[in-house]
Amino acid sequence: MNQTPRGLNRTLLILIGVLFALTGLHGLLLVALPAYAGGWHEVALDVTAGVESVLAATTLPGQRDSWLWIVVALVLIAVVLLLAGWISVQGRGRTGVFARGEDPAARYDGVSTPGAVSLSAAVPEQVMRAALAGRSDLVSVSVSTWEPVAFGRDDDAAWRGDGAGLQIKVQPRLGAGPRRIAEDIAESVRQMDRALGQQGPVVIHLASGARTRMSRAERVR
């Protein structure tokens, strides 16, 4: 359900990791090998001289600075815009509407009155949190709603709705049975579907973290 570009993110992480690794290796070689440091000093002087010559050659008459700085500024602006666009596509897919339906044949007092009904994502989220609240075998519960998947009800061909998907993420307490927890969550989801008359895909994620490892298992005394 999450539309985060994971492939692009992994590629960027690999490239950034390699760049930092090479930078660290370069620093270690400068400190550990005097010959390498001397060679790098000569290369740095040559590069500096080349850059200064390029800047001098691209300076407009009557101006103190090179026009290349304008190009550098434009490139930096483009990089900032690309980063903003990259940030904006992270975690896409969240929605605030769990279900939306329209019935063009609805009638009220014998008069045809088309209308629409929408169900906020807060409704199923609060229902699931309430159903799982107070369980001693869970450390935390997180419920979120993701982009809708279109589907229709077989018992009313005139009604069509958009059903969103739920992601239920829980952290079981140390020693708790994950299979029992998953079965209980699935049963709670089925009861919610019957109560709301609406259903959609559900992802149950049993997570593990520091809170799970540090929490003590509840024992019956």
Tell which residue, 180, 185, 183, 184, has the closest CA to residue 169. Answer: 185
Whether 78 and 115 share a structural domain: no
Distance CA 56, CA 52 (A): 6
| 12 or 116, higher pLDDT | 12
Structural domain that includes position 10: 6-88
Would you say residue 221 lies in a domain? no
Would you say residue 219 lies in a domain? no
Torsion-angle region of 166 (φ positive above 0: left; ψ -120 to 50: alpha; else: beta): beta
Question: pLDDT tens-digit profile of 28-44?
Answer: 999 999 999 999 999 99
Tell which residue, 126, 212, 209, 135, has the closest CA to residue 168. Answer: 126
Whichever domain contains 171, its CATH number is: 3.30.300.30
Q: Is 111 helix (H, G, I), strand (E, B) or coil?
A: strand
Would you say residue 220 lies in a domain? no
User: H/E element holding 97?
Assistant: strand 97-103
Question: pLDDT tens-digit profile of 141-168?
Answer: 889 888 754 333 333 333 334 567 888 9
Distance CA 95, CA 213 (A): 32
